Structures are given as structure tokens and as C-alpha cells.
Amino acid sequence: MNVTVLSGGVGGARFAEGLLDAIDPAGVTVIGNVGDDLEVFGLHVSPDLDTLLYTLGGVADEEQGWGRAGETWAALETADELGAEAWFQLGDRDLGLHLARAEALERGEPLSAITERFARVLGIAARILPATDDRLRTWIQTDDGELPFQEWFVHRRHEPEVLGVRFEGAETARAAPGVLEGLRDADLIVIAPSNPFVSIGPIFAVDEIRAAIAARKVPAVAVSPLIGGRAVKGPADRMLRRLAGGTDPSHVARCYKGLIDALVYDESDGEVELEVRPIVTRTLMTDAAARRRLAEAALEAAAALR
């Protein structure tokens, strides 16, 4: 069975982990968000792709929710002592990956090929691909002006109220090699429980990807990132309230209008009228078993739609 997943960082990676547990990983393609990418110390950092690599490679710091387990911070501390701007946290091991990626990009290897190569090194049997190899960057419009995504998310702790989002480079961005094939060959398309505006939004901002999913011949299922109307972590609930008019499952479904056939959402959100098939279950991914159960709920939803 081939399943193609659209994913941001943490929520998406945890869901993907459950999916790899539920079906043969060789059939799984994960399309990751690159709107969060940035340059730090001249190095290209892809936080969401890296969260996917670390989580599916079994080397993520689960407690912290980002970065690598057993991380140390000597390089960043040294940079800080020497007066560098060091608000974006990069551990020593993490930096090693960014160095290897910078070297490969410098040689002309596309981000998609680099990501696939790193996944193989980490022993990941699924394909992990960036939505695009082109430059695509998320900007956040706030009451304090327009901010680059990480400036808003990390440096300003996503405090400034969001008025809108913009995806720089989206008009000309092409799907990365493998992405359209992954969608074409899928038996099921899943939108992971990721932030609809800043994790999934930049993926759909690539016209070819949105068009491929809009024209799908197989079921597409989204999993809500909200539980009881609240984000497990991060600003998704605030963004939905502000940009979609509310935080119940119908507002999540509306973010994906025409792009999904079913929405998996948490039982604590109660009964809601949806334009797509509702699948109500427990969606908190506390441990490996819960992640797998959530992936299985999405698979069952798809089977029922066929």
C-alpha cells in the first residue's frame, strides 16, 4: 500500500512514525514543509525536514519536542561568547547535519536528493522529500509588521498576533522530484496533524502539489492538530481562531476545502456537522501505540471511502 503524507515538523513526524509502524515503510512518502527554512551562520537549516529525519531515524529528543537526543551545545555557546546572534538553537550534532547539507548544496546537490540520502543514512525506509527544491519562505503578517517565519516563531515566541501569512517564492516554486510521483502513485493521501497555515499551507502554496491533490482519484484524509479546540503545542489554535473564524473541526476541514474527503478529529471535540466524512477517535499521540492507532484510524477512514 502506498501512502503519501503531507507534514510539518513535530505533529507530522509523530504521525508519520505511527504510520511506519502500521504499514510497510517502503510504501510511505512524506512531503515536508520548507517554508520554515532559514540560514543560520550561513548554513541552510530545514527545521521540519530535520524533525522528520530525527524522529523517523529514532534520534529525536522526545521530551524537548525538537532537536536531537543527547545533544550538546559547545559550538553555539562559543559563538555566543564571541558575540554572534544565537537565538536560533542549534546543537552540536544538529550542526553537523547542517554542515553536511551546506557542503552538498554548495556542490549543487538538490535539497530533495540530500534529504533522501540523509534518510537512508539514518536507516529510514520511507521517502522523505521537501515539497520543493526552490526557495519558498513563509512570512508572518503581524500587528508588529511582517516577520520572517522563524523571527516570529522562535525569536518572538509567536507572540505577535497573526493577521495573515505569505509564501515568498510560491508563484514559481516547482514540486521537488518525486513529489508528484508520490501523489500519483498513492493509494491514500494523508494530511498529518500539523499546523494548517504554516506547516501545510506552504506545501499547498506550490501550485503543482495543490492541483495534483485537487485532481486526486484516491481518498485524502486530514488529521486535526487540535484537541478540544486547542493546539497540543504551538499557535495553531490562535491562528485558526483568527484566520478561519474558530477552532472546531469544521474550521480545520475548511482549511482543506476541496482537498480532503475525511477529517479525523478528537472525541473531545464532540459532534460537528462537516462537509467531509468525520472520523472521531482519540488523537493524542502520547506514545508509540497511540501514534500507530491514529495512523490506523486514518487508514480505516480511507478504506471506508473506497
Q: Using CB under 6 A, list all residues that contact ligand GDP.
A: 7-12, 14, 48, 51, 193-195, 199, 224-225, 227, 231-234, 236, 283-285
Shortest distance (Å) from residue 83 CB to ligand GDP: 29
The residue number with the shortest CB distance to ligand GDP is 11
Give the whole-angstrom CA distance, residue 33 versus residue 47.
9
Residue 94 interacts with, from Ca ion, ligand GDP, none (CB under 5-8 Å by kind): none
The residue count of the chain comes to 306
Angstrom CA distances, 156 to 22, 84, 88, stand at: 38, 18, 11
Among 3, 4, 8, 222, binds Ca ion (CB under 5 A): 8
Q: SS in 3 state form for 110-151?
A: CHHHHHHHHHHHCCCCCEEEECCCCCCEEEEEEECEEEEHHH
> CB of 193 within 8 A of CB of 230?
no
Q: Considering the complex, state which of residue 34 and residue 232 has its C-beta at the smaller distance from ligand GDP.
A: 232
Cell of 285: 499521540
Please give the residues from 275 up to 294 whose contact with Ca ion meets the rule CB under 5 A: none
Q: Is 48 in the site for Ca ion (CB under 5 A)?
A: yes
Among 5, 12, 31, 36, binds Ca ion (CB under 5 A): 36
Shortest distance (Å) from residue 51 CB to Ca ion: 7
Q: Considering the complex, state which of residue 112 and residue 195 has its C-beta at the smaller distance from ligand GDP.
A: 195
Q: Considering the complex, state which of residue 179 and residue 231 has its C-beta at the smaller distance from ligand GDP.
A: 231
Residue 284 interacts with, from Ca ion, ligand GDP, none (CB under 5-8 Å by kind): ligand GDP
Angstrom CA distances, 129 to 126, 151, 216, 247, stand at: 10, 25, 19, 30
DSSP assignment string, 290-305:
HHHHHHHHHHHHHHHH
The residue number with the shortest CB distance to Ca ion is 9
Cα 54–chain centre separation:
13
Residue 55 interacts with, from ligand GDP, Ca ion, none (CB under 5-8 Å by kind): none
Q: Is 37 in the site for Ca ion (CB under 5 A)?
A: no
Among 9, 32, 229, 234, binds Ca ion (CB under 5 A): 9
Shortest distance (Å) from residue 219 CB to Ca ion: 26
DSSP assignment string, 39-81:
EETTEEE-HHHHHHHHHHTT-B-TTTSSSBTT---HHHHHHHH
Which of 34-42, 234-242, 284-292, 295-303 is the region at the interface with Ca ion (rule: CB under 5 A)?
34-42
Give the whole-angstrom CA distance, residue 195 versus residue 235.
8
Shortest distance (Å) from residue 78 CB to ligand GDP: 27
Give the whole-angstrom CA distance, residue 262 versus residue 50.
28
Q: Considering the complex, state which of residue 118 and residue 197 has its C-beta at the smaller distance from ligand GDP.
A: 197
Q: Considering the complex, state which of residue 17 and residue 48 has its C-beta at the smaller distance from Ca ion.
A: 48
Interhelix angle 288-305/10-22, nearest 10 degrees: 70
List of residues contacting Ca ion (CB under 5 A): 8-9, 36, 48
